[in-house]
Structure 1
């Protein structure tokens, strides 16, 4: 006679509920470019996702309250000549986002408060000089003390 061993789990009393369709983001063409980074990032104002784009890299930035079906013509952020590999919001300013690309550059973008109305093609800053593609961005919140 064998005994079944049942492991106790801290999740055994957790129950979920499916999210309604109007609370989801739908019809977004997420990039198929695989890399060790995330394909999305979020902050208290926006969610950003790397999307499929022809002729370079792009990502979409949506206000958190813009849910449901996202029209394919929704404006995106595009300025890289190669696929975007990683995106990351600034920890100090919710409207600033950085993107790293296969084109060996990092671009810093400023998103308007209400989100994008037209495509954003001009970065605030373009950082060039990397000898290899930029696949991972790490933006940290550092504090400086003065003596």
Structure 2
């Protein structure tokens, strides 16, 4: 019936939001690992260039974890959203380096926190949609 179809559609959307949330959190964890890597090469390149290289590397590592679960199609969808988030970061890059003393490591850690926050917001949205669709099914 129509109610069940609508509920299952909502569940699909909520599951995607939960998956997106987990993906963004995974990116945050990888960025944190890069930030805390004491063996990272100390090349003389700009802080901004290093930052975005690290972020893209973290995204690729997070994708590998999802490929292992058979969610390749999902990754291309998230990649577009991630590129959009990166675009926002580039526009507000100064926010990550407000003071001269802000180090490359601190910038990465701030970004990792943002990725984890975005992830938790997607997960909360997905869980809220799951709860709403379950309530619809009970009616």
Q: Which has the higher helix share?
A: 2
Q: TM-score, normalised by structure 2?
A: 0.24
Q: Which has the higher strand share?
A: 1
Q: TM-score, normalised by structure 1?
A: 0.23
> Which structure has the bigger radius of gyration?
1
